[in-house]
Structure 1
Amino acid sequence: MNVLLPEIETKRLILRKFTQNDLEPLFLILSDKQTNTYLPWFPVQTIEETQSFLQHYQEEYQQTLGHQYAVCFKKDNLPIGYVHLSYNDSYDLGYGLRHDFWRMGITTEACLAIIEQLRKIGFSYITATHDRNNPRSGEVMKKIGMTYRYSYEEQWQPKDKLVVFRMYQLNFDGQNSRVYQKYWNQSKQHFIESFL
């Protein structure tokens, strides 16, 4: 789907592209150890490492596939987190937020706004995954209307650790029986949990 999503405003937030001026706020997000505990990469240590992430975002913005949103408060327009949507066949929704802004409903508010845009554009579905040891991320997925489908094991890189992921999905087109099977098929250890 060749679509660039526009800048989005919510009650409290602006969701926009990262710019070169965001280098220091992005460093604060990517170096936050608590924010990055359940993400595949290690927290960045330097501004130079942060520049590599920013360069990646700039390259993504040159394409008509994919997007990386900075999540900012309207009052200062400085990034405190991000929301990503991958444009491979998973349409995987991912997010991160500086830990000093947790428990304020910010990620839920940002994701709901993006979901509304995706629905208008005509997406059929999105997926999202979270580490089983990070159930708060799963709570966000439930709050934005996603449904748990299955769990699977993956040796996550570059941290090189075995993780059990829970996969959630939201179908926009009413085909509620559709389940994205790629993670299930790729993992030798997959199963449906009865944790709900």
Structure 2
Amino acid sequence: MDNIRIETDRLILRRFEEDDIEAIYLLFSDDEVNAFLPWYPVKDRNEARDFFEKRLKGGKYCFAICRKEDDFPVGYIHAEEDDSHDFGYALRKEYWHQGIVSEASSAVIELLREEGLPYITATHDRNNPRSGAVMKRIGMGYCYSYKEQWQPKNFPVIFRMYQLNFDGQKDRVYQKYWNLYDEHFVETDI
């Protein structure tokens, strides 16, 4: 696995490492940070280590978001390698509202474009409009909404699906979620 390292004005984006367990624990143990993420918060450092092994280690487009001054991860950003190219992120709450995720996202998007991905998608819970605001800031466009019985948390969520096409096919819309869920619609007030 290549060891990609991206630097922006304020950030270093790099692979998560074994030494990052404390940072992973701080990020993924917080109830508020994890409220809209598709897993339960980790309870201790052993669970943080398991989370690292299962979800963060080895992903081609999975990066720790680190501040340049200490190279300590304060967030994560990733794009899935499947056909959704699902783009996601999380940030410790003491770093919210500073443009960090937008800055990291712009850098990762440039890498994905250079790597030849045709597009990325991203979804956010309708009750988390700030995530949608990030998607808009980085150039993604709203496509549609759908209702899913969200797992593993097992409650209904209306997700908004955004997409950014890199290859010039402006009208392409990833249809998987639209086709998968019976309740889907286009919201006009976004």
**What SS does the corresponding residue of 2:41 show, helix, strand or coil?**
coil
- 1:11-61 CA-to-partner distances (Å, cap 9, x unmatched) read 000000111110001100001111111112111111111111111256535
Query: TM-score scaled to structure 2, two decimals?
Result: 0.96
The partner residue of 1:43 within 41, 44, 58 is 41
1:94-115 per-position Cα deviation (integer Å, ceiling 9, x unaligned):
0000111000000000000001
Is 1:109 matched with 2:107? no
The RMSD of aligned alpha carbons is: 1.4
Q: Does 1:54 align with 2:48?
A: no
- 5+ residue gaps, structure 1: none
Tell me the matched-pair count. Answer: 190
- How far does residue 67 in structure 1 lie from its aligned partner after superposition? 2.8
Distance 1:39 1:174 in 2: 30
Q: Pick from 6, 11, 14: which aligns with 1:13?
A: 11
Cα separation, 2, equivalents of 1:166 and 1:5: 33
What are the ranges of 5 or more consecutive residues in structure 2 without an aligned counterpart?
none
After superposition, residues 168-179 of structure 1 pair within 5 angstroms as: 168-179=162-173
Misfit runs of 4+, over 4 Å = none
Residue 69 of structure 2 aligns to a residue whose secondary structure is coil
Q: Tell me the residue number matched to 1:97.
A: 91
> What is the identity percentage for the equivalent residue pairs of Structure 1 and Structure 2?
53
Deviation of residue 5 (structure 1)? 7.3
**1:85 CA displacement:** 0.8
Distance 1:4 1:86, change over 3 A: farther
Task: Flag the 1:4–1:178 CA change in 2: closer, same or farther, 3 A.
Answer: farther
TM-score (norm. length: structure 1):
0.93
Partner of 1:85: 79
Report the AA paired with residue 8 of structure 2: T
* Aligned equivalents of 1:5, 1:79: Cα separation in 2: 16
Q: Residues of 2 paired with 1:58 and 1:151: CA distance?
A: 28
